[in-house]
Chain A
């Protein structure tokens, strides 16, 4: 169980980005978090992934309150989260080949044997062809790089996946492929998912339940208010509805 209670977080103590946000993700559940841009949902995602210490509030991981973030968090705890960010260009070290990029978590946690096979397996699961693996980030497209980033996030078999606007930069077919790869992994591992985004159609089809930002914080966002509900005529989406998979 991943439980965020009354989280207030930001980059200056006097002007927090997120105020009093609460959210729960059960094991194996997929939750979509929907909000307008700039409302603080990425910050909340970073808090949930133990990457940003909140100013106040509690994060409960399987009932235990988390007390330390980033490097201070025990390694087993932070590697329990696989994180995929919005911009693949910024989330890949430009000096690493895709193989090394995907293998980096395996090496960082001291796994020696079988790295090559594991990288091939991961690359195949996200649909990266072997010829791309020798390239560096600037030699592949955004979509291919995001596939590598997803493979990296899955490398340590995390129990929780945090996808922060994972598909915002990508075309429809890559979006579908990435979502399918995430769902394949969840089907075999039973991992929970927190998918942050602003595309209601996508999140509705992808996740078991979708929650709006103002339901998370308990108040309407002053600048933008509630997103218009997708009513009646839904746009066709490439992702099958949650029930049909």
Chain B
């Protein structure tokens, strides 16, 4: 206690210079994430405009007052399409990242806590899956189903639990040799109780952080799969399908159908990653983070 109190102010004063830029970054990220979530939640019920409304008289209009982002090749308003696309991409990102983290945590914790042949078997499966490029594996899984939101979610989730499983297993292995686990065994705790009471609470902050960091990654995968024409059906607005549909007009000099959906992919994902980075610094202030995507 006594030796801790003087060290804290030292750490703080050391950090003040960099804190200002960090704080700006974190606040900006928070504002952007909040704006994106509010737009996605509030625009569809409140704004009575049809995102699919085709107006062939207003094809490929550049940005103007009535269409701030311009219109696409069928005369649909791009701002509205982008918001609906972000809605789909965020949904896919959050659900897929959460599912992947749950799978990874359960598998990693089981392997680490049980050890022995269970551990070896599970980790060989993980190695096998990891040896295949995950975008390729994702394409394979998506191709098994009809185009839609859920195949994309399944594909991203099934290809992204591997790293979480590795991290959680390594963490559990290092925790398992701590004397407090010995003390719990000696105190009559069952394997299940040791896992639930001592091991899982210790890895959950890391796992939750991994989930948040995975949301932007999953959104990118959704965009990539849709861009390749494998993910969502083309009439469903997602950021990937929007960019894919805009390829032709980009070559003809119309930049807005590509630029705005592209910004809608990049800005929210960077904002989420910025928030996650700040959270990681809170969990472990000694490790200064860069953006890990």
Residues in A lying within 8 Å of B, measured CB to CB? 46, 49-51, 70-71, 75, 78-79, 81-83, 85, 87, 90-93, 95, 104-105, 108-109, 139-141, 149, 152-153, 155-156
| CB proximity to A under 8 Å, residues B192-215 | 193, 197-198, 201-202
The 7 closest A-B pairs by CB, nearest first: A105-B187, A91-B179, A108-B189, A109-B188, A79-B188, A85-B179, A83-B186
Given A85-B179, A90-B178, A91-B179: A71 and B190 within 8 A (CB)? yes
**What are 10 pairs between A and B in contact, CB < 8 Å?**
A78-B188, A79-B187, A85-B179, A91-B182, A91-B183, A104-B187, A104-B197, A109-B187, A153-B183, A156-B187
Complex contacts, A104 vs chain B, CB 8 Å: 184, 187, 189, 197
Determine the distance from Cα of A149 to Cα of B183 in the docked complex, in whole angstroms.
9
Complex contacts, B182 vs chain A, CB 8 Å: 46, 49, 51, 83, 85, 91
Asked if B136 lies at the interface with its beta carbon under 8 angstroms from chain A, I say no
Task: Please tell me if the beta carbons of B179 and A87 are within 8 angstroms of each other in the complex.
Answer: yes
Complex contacts, B190 vs chain A, CB 8 Å: 71, 75, 108
Task: Please tell me if the beta carbons of B180 and A108 are within 8 angstroms of each other in the complex.
Answer: no
Asked if B247 lies at the interface with its beta carbon under 8 angstroms from chain A, I say no
Complex contacts, B197 vs chain A, CB 8 Å: 93, 104, 108
Task: Please tell me if the beta carbons of B187 and A141 are within 8 angstroms of each other in the complex.
Answer: no
Given A93-B198, A95-B201, A139-B1: A108 and B179 within 8 A (CB)? no
Task: Please tell me if the beta carbons of A79 and B179 are within 8 angstroms of each other in the complex.
Answer: no
Give the dominant DSSP class at B's interface: helix
Given contacts A50-B186, A90-B180, 15 further A-B contacts (CB under 8 A): A51-B185, A79-B186, A79-B187, A81-B186, A83-B186, A85-B179, A85-B183, A87-B179, A90-B179, A92-B180, A93-B180, A108-B184, A108-B189, A109-B187, A156-B188
Q: How far is the CB of B196 from chain A (nearest CB, A)?
A: 11
Work out how many contacts link A and B, with CB atoms closer than 8 A: 72
Complex contacts, A152 vs chain B, CB 8 Å: 183, 187
Complex contacts, B193 vs chain A, CB 8 Å: 108
Q: How far is the CB of A15 from chain B (nearest CB, A)?
A: 18
Complex contacts, A70 vs chain B, CB 8 Å: 185
Complex contacts, B179 vs chain A, CB 8 Å: 85, 87, 90-91
Asked if B191 lies at the interface with its beta carbon under 8 angstroms from chain A, I say yes
Complex contacts, B188 vs chain A, CB 8 Å: 75, 78-79, 105, 108-109, 156
Q: How far is the CB of A193 from chain B (nearest CB, A)?
A: 15
Instruction: Give the residue of B1, B178, B183 whose beta carbon is less than 8 angstroms from that of A83.
Output: B183
Residues in B lying within 8 Å of A, measured CB to CB? 1, 178-180, 182-191, 193, 197-198, 201-202
Complex contacts, A149 vs chain B, CB 8 Å: 183
Complex contacts, A109 vs chain B, CB 8 Å: 187-188
Complex contacts, A50 vs chain B, CB 8 Å: 186
Determine the distance from Cα of A75 to Cα of B183 in the docked complex, in whole angstroms.
13
Q: How far is the CB of A161 from chain B (nearest CB, A)?
A: 11
Q: How far is the CB of B207 from chain A (nearest CB, A)?
A: 15
Complex contacts, B189 vs chain A, CB 8 Å: 104-105, 108
Given A108-B193, A139-B1: A155 and B183 within 8 A (CB)? no
Smallest CB gap from B202: residue in A: A95
Determine the distance from Cα of A109 to Cα of B184 in the docked complex, in whole angstroms.
11
Complex contacts, B185 vs chain A, CB 8 Å: 51, 70-71, 78
Complex contacts, A81 vs chain B, CB 8 Å: 186
Determine the distance from Cα of A46 to Cα of B183 in the docked complex, in whole angstroms.
11
Q: How far is the CB of B110 from chain A (nearest CB, A)?
A: 15
Smallest CB gap from B193: residue in A: A108
Complex contacts, A87 vs chain B, CB 8 Å: 179
Complex contacts, A153 vs chain B, CB 8 Å: 183, 186
Task: Please tell me if the beta carbons of B1 and A141 are within 8 angstroms of each other in the complex.
Answer: yes
Determine the distance from Cα of A82 to Cα of B185 in the docked complex, in whole angstroms.
11
Q: How far is the CB of B181 from chain A (nearest CB, A)?
A: 9
Determine the distance from Cα of A84 to Cα of B38 in the docked complex, in whole angstroms.
54
Smallest CB gap from A50: residue in B: B186
Q: How far is the CB of B50 from chain A (nearest CB, A)?
A: 52
Smallest CB gap from B186: residue in A: A83
Q: How far is the CB of A133 from chain B (nearest CB, A)?
A: 16
Determine the distance from Cα of A91 to Cα of B1 in the docked complex, in whole angstroms.
18
Determine the distance from Cα of A62 to Cα of B99 in the docked complex, in whole angstroms.
51
Determine the distance from Cα of A174 to Cα of B198 in the docked complex, in whole angstroms.
28
Smallest CB gap from A49: residue in B: B186
Complex contacts, A95 vs chain B, CB 8 Å: 201-202
Complex contacts, B202 vs chain A, CB 8 Å: 95
Smallest CB gap from B185: residue in A: A70
Determine the distance from Cα of A183 to Cα of B59 in the docked complex, in whole angstroms.
90
Smallest CB gap from B194: residue in A: A71
Smallest CB gap from B192: residue in A: A71
Task: Please tell me if the beta carbons of B178 and A155 are within 8 angstroms of each other in the complex.
Answer: no
